Amino acid sequence: MYLEMALLLYLIVAAVTVFLRQRLLDAVIIYASYSVVLSAVWLLLLAPDLAITEAAVATGISGVLFFVVLKRIQAMDAEHSLDEEV
């Protein structure tokens, strides 16, 4: 009972922190942790199909994609600073 309360509280806290954090990398990391805790909540709701799908698909694909987009944006920044110097 209190485990459920704790996990759900974490979900809300993570959602608000993602909204408040200025740095993108923090927001994306917190969103990935939000998604992992959500897949634990699906287990508490007796839906194992959802837990494995959320963990593999939601965290596995969209979480990784957010990181790749950030890496690509930093790569573009590096490429642009290269242009300015030349």
Partner 1 sequence: MWLYLRENYYQITAMFLFGIGLSALLLDRNLVKKLIGLNICNSGIYLFLAAQGYIRGGAVPIVADGVQLYINPVPTGLILTGIVISVSVTAFALALVVRLYKRYQTLDIDELSKLVVKEGM
Partner 2 sequence: MNLFSLSAWRHRLLRYYPLVALSLTVGITALLLVTLAALPPLGEVGNPSHNLVSLKYIEDGLGDTGALNIVAGMILDYRAFDTFGEACVLFTATCAIIILLRSDTPDAYDTMLHQMEEPHTNIILQSVSFLLVGIMLVFGCYVIANGHLSPGGGFSGGSILGAALILYVNSYGIRRASHFINFTIYRRLVSFSLLFYAAFKGYSFFMGANHLPSGIPLGKPGDLLSAGLILPLNIAVGCVVAGTVYAIYVLFSQGEMR
Least Å from the CB of residue 64 to partner 2: 7
Restricting to residues 26-55, name those near partner 2 by CB under 8 A. Answer: 47-49, 51-53, 55
The residue among 21, 23, 24, 57 whose CA lies nearest residue 38 is 57
The sign of the dihedral angle between the CA atoms of 55, 56, 57, 60 is positive
Residue with tokens 């959602």: 15
Which partner, partner 2, partner 1, none, binds residue 51 by CB below 5 to 8 Å per kind? partner 2
Among 6, 9, 71, 77, binds partner 2 (CB under 8 A): 71
Which residue lies nearer to partner 2 by CB, 41 or 51? 51
Asked if 59 contacts 39 with a C-beta cutoff of 8 angstroms, the reply is yes
